[in-house]
Amino acid sequence: MSIVTRIRLSLERMNAAWRDALATAIAGALAWLLANWLLGHPHPVFAIVTAIVCLAPGLPNHGRQATGLMLGVAIGILMGELALQIPETMLEAEPLALLRMSAAVFLSILIASVFGLPAVVPIQAGVSAVLVLAMGAESAGWHRMEDVIVGAGAGLLFSQILLTPDPLRQIDSAMAHLLLRIGAGLEAAAEALHKADPRRAQTTLGLMLRAQEDLALLRAGADGARYSARWSLRGRLAAASVISAADDAEHDAIRLCAAALLLADGLREALLQGKRPPGELESSLRALAALSSGKATGPLAYPGHSSPQLETIAPDWMPVVSSLRILSEILRKNALPGRHQKVGKAELAS
């Protein structure tokens, strides 16, 4: 990757993160002031830390992060408090005190994992148990829980009311990033086909496998959109359309990634066998790559309309052509901006 590309990506990431970073800083200051004013805590560090954990950039769902954090902290404090009930006379040896702490961490994480919530819940449960046993219940027990409630409340205020993200834009943005990755894979597939190079086809397969990461992010974004539709003011105003858009995007993305993997694998196998490809396959791959990457200009003749009938295609190329037609069908609906709302070319390329 060139230096210019690295700088461009860094600037794009900063542009995507600055709003969340600003909201985090303001919410943290608000949480500190509220904990100091309402609770009389002179140094409510845990309040500002909680607000940061709840609103930091890159989280798929700030509201779920806030509620999960509170649950994890409560479980950890409870287990730490229970562990403190063991008489000190039984823990005079340091190994026994360490064993008590390990047992409290184990039980806290185990109980927190039962809920099937994000990793922040068991992490905070284990950390809270350690803090209670290491710092004492007065400093890290329910006193800390009060700070956490204030910090999480500030996080929820910003994420669910003041700066609620547009659920439809979340879905479109996640889909755009997935399509960009698929577009890069399709371009690599066309190049492998042009040079009849199985090694390049193997690279294509790697690119399509990496698209699974973007699929995971899209599914997290779809879950976040559904959550916003239930629990945020902005989401509830358009709950039906948000849930429908999330379901459609998740379904299409799963099909898209499956077809892309089948195409890349079929291409590699066909090139290894040295079979001659159908005449229009390379141009079809490049057309779909341009569409998927948001680089297509003017009306597109979608692949599959003028390509040979499936009965006339050599069996070795059937998986590639069939997958290409599935990709074409899905991309017609998803690759063009504005299926849910306008998404500019700059966002598609970010």
* Residue 335 DSSP symbol: T
Residue 306 pLDDT? 44
Q: Are residues 124 and 71 in the same domain?
A: yes
Higher local confidence (pLDDT), 226 or 322: 322
- What is the b/e burial string over 294-318, where b = at least 16 CB atoms within 10 angstroms of the residue's CB? bebeeebebbbeebeeeeebeebbe
Q: Are residues 94 and 150 in the same domain?
A: yes
Structure tokens given for 333: 């609906």
Q: Are residues 178 and 117 in the same domain?
A: no
Q: Are residues 221 and 326 in the same domain?
A: yes
Q: Are residues 67 and 44 in the same domain?
A: yes
pLDDT digits (tens, 9 = 90+) for 136-179: 766 667 778 888 999 999 988 887 777 766 777 778 878 888 88
Q: Are residues 237 and 275 in the same domain?
A: yes
Q: Are residues 220 and 80 in the same domain?
A: no
Q: How far apart are CA 178 and CA 172, in angstroms?
A: 10
Residue 144 pLDDT? 81
Section 94-109 average pLDDT: 86
Domain termination site, one of 162, 187, 214 = 162
**pLDDT band at residue 292 under the 50/70/90 scheme:** confident
Section 69-73 average pLDDT: 91
Higher local confidence (pLDDT), 313 or 333: 333
Inform me whether the pLDDT recorded for 348 exceeds 90.
no
The total domain count for the chain is 2
Domain termination site, one of 162, 183, 210 = 162
Higher local confidence (pLDDT), 280 or 289: 289
Q: Are residues 195 and 155 in the same domain?
A: no
3-state class (DSSP) for residue 338: coil
Q: Are residues 58 and 83 in the same domain?
A: yes
Sign of the dihedral defined by the CA atoms of residues 35, 39, 41, 45, in that order: negative
* Percent of the chain whose pLDDT exceeds 90: 22
Q: Are residues 108 and 127 in the same domain?
A: yes
Inform me whether the pLDDT recorded for 74 exceeds 70.
yes
Taking the complete model, does pTM exceed 0.85, yes or no?
no
Domain termination site, one of 133, 162, 191 = 162
Higher local confidence (pLDDT), 225 or 122: 122
Domain span holding position 29: 3-162
pLDDT digits (tens, 9 = 90+) for 229-288: 776 666 666 777 888 888 999 999 999 999 999 999 999 998 888 877 877 888 888 888
Residue 350 pLDDT? 33
Q: Are residues 147 and 252 in the same domain?
A: no
To the nearest whole number, what is the mean pLDDT of the chain?
80
- Contact yes or no for 81/40 (Cβ under 8 A): no
Location of structure tokens 């196998």: 269
Inform me whether the pLDDT recorded for 304 exceeds 50.
no
pLDDT digits (tens, 9 = 90+) for 113-122: 998 888 889 9
Inform me whether the pLDDT recorded for 345 exceeds 60.
no
Q: Return the number of other C-beta atoms located less than 10 Å from residue 87's C-beta.
A: 6
Q: Are residues 122 and 215 in the same domain?
A: no
Q: What spatial distance separates the first Cα and last Cα of the chain, rounded to whole Å?
A: 15
Residue 283 pLDDT? 87
Residue 32 pLDDT? 94
Higher local confidence (pLDDT), 212 or 299: 212
Q: How far apart are CA 280 and CA 301, in angstroms?
A: 12
Section 304-331 average pLDDT: 72
Section 219-236 average pLDDT: 72
**pLDDT band at residue 311 under the 50/70/90 scheme:** very low
To the nearest 10°, report the CA torsion of 10, 13, 14, 19. Answer: 180
Residue 255 pLDDT? 93
- Contact yes or no for 46/73 (Cβ under 8 A): no
Minimal CA–CA distance to 25: which of 160, 155, 164, 145? 155
